Amino acid sequence: MKKEKTKSHFVGVRLTEEQKKALSKLEKTSDLSKTDILLRGLELLSEYYSLGLDRPPLNVELKKLEEEAMHHFQELKRIKRREESVREMVQELRDIDKIIDEYNGDKSALIQILLKIQAKNHWLPKPALMWVSERLDIPMSQILNVATFYKAFSLDPQGEHLVRVCLGTACHVRGGPKILDAAEQFLGVESGETTSDLKFTLESVNCIGCCALGPVMVVDDEYHGKLDSSKVGEILSNYRMKDMDRSEDKRKALPIRHEMRRGQSG
Amino acid sequence: MKKLQSASDVEKLRKELLRKQDSSKSCISVCSGTGCHAYGCEKVVSAFENELKKQKLEGKVEIKRTGCHGFCEKGPIVVIYPEEICYLQVKIEDIPDIVSQTIKAGKTIDRLLYTDLKTGKKVVHESEIPFYKNQTRLIFGNNRKIESKSIDDYIALGGYNALVKAFSEITPEKVLEEIKKANLRGRGGGGFPAGIKWESVRNAPGEPKYVIVNCDEGDPGAYMDRSLMEGNPHSVIEGLIIGAYAIGSHEGYIYVRQEYPLAVENTELAIKQAEEYGLLGKDILGSGFDFTIKIHRGAGAFVSGESSALMSAIEGKVGEPRPKYIHTSEKGLWDKPTCLNNVETWANVPFIINKGADWFGNMGTDNSKGTKIFSLVGNVNNTGLVEVPMGITLREIIYDIGGGIPNGKKFKAVQTGGPSGGCIPEIQLDLPVDFDELNKVGSMMGSGGMIVMDEDTCMVDIARYFVKFLSEESCGKCTPCREGLRHMLRILDDITAGKATEKDIKLLEEISEVVKEAPLCALGTTAPNPVLSTLKYFRDEYEAHLQGECPAKVCKELIQYRIDPEKCKGCGLCLKKCPTGAISGEKKGVHTIDVEKCIKCGACFEVCNFDAVSKISSKERK
Amino acid sequence: MKSISLTIDGRNVKAQKGMTILQVAQSSDIEIPTLCHHEDLEPYGACRLCTVETIKNDKTKLVAACCYPVEDGLIVKTSSERVNKIRKIILELLLPLAPTGPLYALAEKYGLCECVKKSDEESEWRMIKELRFPAEKPTYCTLCGLCVRYCSEIKKGNVIGFIGRGVDRKISLVPEENCGFCRDCENICEGGKFLSLLEL
């Protein structure tokens, strides 16, 4: 039964003009009255206190996670409002929980879990690593060691398209390095880096096992073989063209380059 | 799928599957390894499905997506059964013809058949193509006969018969004896006798015991294990179960590198199918023996293919090798006795159990029995995967099977054993290939990578390539390997840039000694091999670089691109392709390259139709 | 526990099963140089300075003394032409990275440098042989891992860790962990100034 909304007044509280405007906006846009909201707030606070979230160590952890969430989504230029980033972060952490539960929280499954997170996000966001550290009870130093040891992981957001040039021995003798040079030249970045418009991440790989097609370049899941350096620019610009054909609305907000990326102006 | 409760159930199933098979029914088998995926084999399969529908043959002709056939140079490969007609480099446009002419009318399409390089004649049947005829496709041959995602195909071919035999006819000890008698040596590169490894794990104190399949194939240019794991995963699984039975292990791991998604997919499916049939799990075929397999994916590290590093990775840690003074057969995964073997090693096991150690011993040399699968790649005509008996010569592999060097170029060297191996020159081509012979000339057979290099390859550049690879892939824990490779790379960079002196080569040799003698693991011990073998056989190339020349015209700092004014027709194609605008010239006039702007990408060299662009030594310019 | 008898540099020594060559040598006052070894930490085997020659059943091997478990009848040579050459080059490789007292002191024994008195209180290290393995600039880190291992195994802090691989391997502070500023890592570091040269 919907309660009739009465006009609000505050007992013993003087509101500024701005606060009055905000309150009237809230009442117009939400279904809840001021007293509904206050009651809800008190309920949440009582749960908050009973869980011990107001005291150390949980209050520190909670604050840390909230800050990481804000930082993370601001970096991605996706979400600005506090409640949105917290809500999104809850969803992301629940997704990670699901992955960890698939492996029954087994510490030795760390690499498998990180591979799934990498596949989902195309990089390993810091809050995700903190959560894994928390759930699996593995020190952050060890997780960072694993994340930087294996080439499959990236601690920075990657571009929309992953360009991999094969530099296996067979491709090397068939001119693989020239293909990499041409790709670097065309994209304006070095191997291991992402273009400043975040469209392409260029990487070299040590053998895809398609030696008969050498030299090979793989863009996302498409293989381009029997290349010579003159074809590289054409192939890559086709991806640019395909993207430009898509309407602006459908394009996802692109992640920005993390500052930790080794000195590159792109 | 109904669970198989006993050995006789397996036999019953096989008979039923064979009965259902109609050998007169046409079957189109399309090679679906990763290599052919890159060629677009999925589109070929869809095109066949559509065409069969169009020509009202749906349901009357079977389509199989088989494992890698090995003749990777000529993909997509389609073989029509029962006639075994082999079509190569099949395009979508060819499909309607294949269906109407070959399937319906029984005629062969000449343009799609293999042409013998020597006689010019067309070859119809797959097994008669010289590439295949000169091989002994024992392990790999079944790839083309089965649908990779089907356990029934494997069983119909006789699969899991060895498992039945091991469980019902012989004891675990007898299985072990048979493997020891066969002298099956590890196919991953080490060549250690598998039977002796199995025995030491079996006898080591401690439970549980683990068995591991190493599919972390890190050698660039080698993809044999991938094709086996993708194409015929059950052959490896069967070998693993038999091995676990002999050793007394109930938990197995298959470590597949992350770069092999199709192998992971097909292996996961194969494990599920085997579990459903009761070939994995509890009380397998009523024997009382339990065994389960888990898959662990790698995450991109060459060094994690080393056995102790691999075990660290399975434990969720970084893939750093550890000292092996106490063998992993005693203290391996989680400090328990562990038996790790390569994919191909496990795949050999069912054959040895089925046909016996004596039969196996008939192939190969005295100390290297059986066959070996090689990936023959690089500057060779017939790029692909070849399986040959041990003891065959390098020359036979490269020329009789590989078809020699393309584009009329001369052979220069063949690199074997990956980054742990060395380069072998022409004078050694008659060496038999086995575990021990290639070691005598500073290389090794390794896991099977065989990269052929022609006269346009710079051997110093190759040495630098391998050192760069190893410096990045080394775990970096121990000083000799990490710092040694760092400085070896620096010196090789200087040599390829023409900035080095004789002193630098001596220093290179001195560092190589320390890297070889004092590192933590075998990656370090074998790291100097590419450098030492190229210094041994191609020292003249190193000397030339000291004088500022790259004889093969590869090293960028030592070459210039030049347009011959007499040959240049002024077509302007090179000008268009040049990424830095270094080429200038009027239409129909002679074009020139501005040396200052030229980044030596070689695009002009590749596009010129008049042979007007050539590479010259930068000394000549001066 | 079973007693083991082996020979180190011609001397017969007794040991317990499970001991390493280094432990046996140290308890018998036989010197083997080390860098990444610490008696309170698990043997690491990274610096390879403790490389010694072992002979058993006529087979000679080079092993890291800090990790190799002793065997009955093992013959060990802690110093030989082969071993000394290896140690010399390892020190030549490490000195440009960490030109500090402890490393110079080790290098002096292999004829690479000498201690020269400047005044009554001051003395400095001078290279005798030219440095053949230049470093762009000293990192003051030999990647011996003492700090990482100490913080992890003894302090249970895990504030310092390794990142990267191969020639890009480095030490890094982990900001997410709470450092108690005990400074034990500074004290244990042989390579030089610790905290000031860390990369995040």
Q: What is the pLDDT of residues B158-191, one digit of tens each?
A: 999 999 999 988 899 999 999 999 999 999 998 9
Same domain, B413 and B465: no
Specify the higher pLDDT residue, B24 or B413: B413
Q: Is A110 on the interface with B (CB under 8 A)?
A: yes
Strand duo B384-389 + B411-416: pairing: unpaired
Q: Are residues B233 and B92 in the same domain?
A: no
* Domain-embedded: residue B264: yes
pLDDT in tens, B453-481: 999 999 999 999 999 999 999 999 999 99
Any chain B CB within 8 A of the CB of A119?
Answer: no
Q: What gap in Å lies between CA B508 and CA B522, rounded to an integer?
A: 19
pLDDT value for B417: 94
What pLDDT is recorded for position B223? Answer: 94
- Is B150 domain-assigned? no
Instruction: For residue B513, give how far its alpha carbon lies from the nearest alpha carbon of chain C (Å).
Output: 8
Contact C143 B476 (CB under 8 A): yes
Q: Are B195 and B291 contained in the same domain?
A: yes
For the record, the structure tokens of B521 come out as 């693991």
Q: Which chains touch A (3 or more CB pairs under 8 A)?
A: B, C
Residue A141, in any domain of the structure? yes
Q: Which of A121, A149, A177 is the last residue of a domain?
A: A149
**Are residues A78 and A133 part of one domain?**
yes
Q: What pLDDT is stored for residue B516 in this prediction? A: 96
Among A149, A172, A206, give the residue marking a domain's end.
A149
Residue B71's contacts (CB-CB under 8 Å, 6 or more residues apart) are B77, B88, B129, B131, B132, B382, B384
- The answer to whether B459 touches B419, Cβ cutoff 8 Å, is no
Query: Residue A256 above 80 pLDDT?
Result: no
The verdict on residue A52 lying in a domain is: no
Chain A within 8 Å of B603 (Cβ-Cβ)?
yes
SS3 category, B157: coil
Q: Is A112 on the interface with B (CB under 8 A)?
A: yes
Chain centroid, CA A78 distance in Å: 10
Contact of C173 with chain A, judged by CB distance below 8 Å, is answered with no
pLDDT tens, residue by residue, B83-119: 899 999 999 999 999 999 999 898 999 999 999 888 8
CATH code of the domain covering residue B480: 1.20.1440.230
Q: What average pLDDT does this structure show over A142-152?
A: 95
Q: Can you give the pLDDT at residue C198? A: 47
Name chain B contacts of A215, Cβ cutoff 8 Å.
Answer: none
**Inter-chain residue contact B220 with A206, CB threshold 8 Å:** yes
β-pair partners for C16:
C3
Q: Please say whether the structural domain C3-79 has been given the CATH code 3.10.20.740.
A: yes
Is residue B1 classed as helix, strand or coil in its secondary structure? coil
CB contact (8 A) between residue A146 and residue B379: no
Residue ending a domain, choose from B114, B145, B176: B145
Selection from B298, B557, C55 nearest residue A115 by Cα: B298
> Any chain B CB within 8 A of the CB of A172?
yes
pLDDT: is B255 or C126 the higher one?
B255
Predicted confidence (pLDDT) at residue A140 exceeds the cutoff of 60:
yes
Query: Is residue C135 pLDDT above 80, yes or no?
Result: yes
How many Å lie between the alpha carbon of C175 and the closest alpha carbon of chain A?
A: 9
Mean pLDDT of B431-443: 91
Query: Are B224 and B342 within one domain?
Result: yes
Per-residue pLDDT tens over the stretch A196-223? 887 899 999 888 778 888 899 999 878 8
Same domain, yes or no, for A166 and A143? Answer: no
A85 compared with C169, residue with greater pLDDT: C169
Question: Same domain for B419 and B510?
Answer: no
Look-up: residue for tokens 């008939």?
A: B362
Same domain, A121 and A172: no
> Domain count of chain B?
5
User: Domain range spanning residue A207?
Assistant: 161-249
Percentage of chain C lying above the pLDDT 70 cut: 95
Residue B475's SS3 state is: coil
Q: What is the CATH number of the domain that holds B51?
A: 3.40.30.10
Q: Which of residues 197-256 of A touch B (CB under 8 A)?
A: 205-214, 216, 223, 225, 228-230, 233
Confidence check: pLDDT of B277 > 60? yes
Q: What is the domain extent for residue B510? A: 460-546
Is the Cβ of C17 closer than 8 Å to some Cβ of chain B?
no
The residues near B355 (Cβ < 8 Å, ≥ 6 apart) are none
The distance in angstroms from the start CA to the end CA of chain A is 60
Of A169, A178, A212, which has the smallest distance from its Cβ to B384's Cβ? A212
A124 and A174 inside one domain = no
List, for residues C54-96, the tens digit of each pLDDT value. Answer: 999 999 999 999 999 999 999 999 999 999 999 999 999 999 9
What residues of chain B, 46 to 105, have a C-beta less than 8 Å from chain A? Answer: 72-73, 75
Least-confidence region, from A64-73, B606-615, C137-146? A64-73
Task: Give the residue extent of every domain in chain C.
Answer: 3-79, 82-127, 146-197
Please tell me if residue B260 touches chain A, with a CB cutoff of 8 Å: yes
- Pair (A242, A170) in one structural domain: yes
Whether A80 and A112 share a structural domain: yes
What's the pLDDT band for B133 if we cut at 50, 70, 90? very high
Query: What are B26-58's pLDDT values in tens digits?
Result: 999 999 999 899 889 999 999 999 999 999 888
Residues B335 and B310 in one domain: yes
Asked if the Cβ–Cβ distance from A142 to C163 is below 8 Å, we say: no
CATH of the domain at A167: 3.40.30.10
The CATH number of residue B415's host domain is 3.10.20.600
Query: Cβ contacts of residue C183 below 8 Å, gap of 6+?
Result: none
CATH number at residue B572: 3.30.70.20
| R_g of chain A, CA atoms, integer Å | 25
Together in a domain, B325 and B440:
no
Q: For residue C50, give the chain B residue with the closest CA.
A: B518
C4-19, pLDDT tens digit by residue? 999 999 999 999 999 9
**Residue ranges with strand state E in B406-484:** 411-416, 422-425, 449-454
* Residue among A144, A171, A173, A184 with most chain B CBs within 10 A, to mutate: A173
> CB C163 to CB A144 under 8 A?
yes
Say how far residue B124 (Cα) sits from the centre of its chain.
Answer: 27
Domain-embedded: residue B2: no
Which amino acid, residue B580? T
Interface contact A99, partner B, CB < 8 A: no
Q: Which of A95-109, B23-37, B244-258, B276-290 has the lowest mean pLDDT?
A: B23-37
Looking at A115, A149, A183, the residue that finishes a domain is: A149
Look at B316 and A208 and tell me if their CB atoms are within 8 Å: no
Q: What integer pLDDT is reported at residue A28 of this predicted model?
A: 77
**Of the partner residues C161, C164, C165, the one whose CB lies closest to the CB of residue A141:** C161
Among A11-25, A104-118, B503-517, B578-592, name the one with the lowest average pLDDT. Answer: A11-25
Quote the number of domains for chain A.
2
In a domain, B138, yes or no: yes
* B141 and B245 co-located in one domain: no
Question: Are B229 and B267 within 8 A, CB to CB?
Answer: yes
Asked whether the beta carbons of residue C68 and residue B326 sit closer than 8 angstroms, the reply is no
CB contact under 8 A, B465 and A169: yes
Backbone angles phi, psi at B501, to 5 degrees: -125, 175
Name every chain C residue with its beta carbon within 8 A of the beta carbon of B318. Answer: 162, 165
Distances (CA, A) of A251 to A88, A123, A173: 19, 19, 39
Q: Are residues A133 and A202 in the same domain?
A: no
* Same-domain check for residues B279 and B380: no
The nearest CA of chain A is from the CA of C66 a distance in Å of: 24
Contact list in C for residue A133 (CB cut-off 8 A) is 176
Residue A47 included in any domain: no
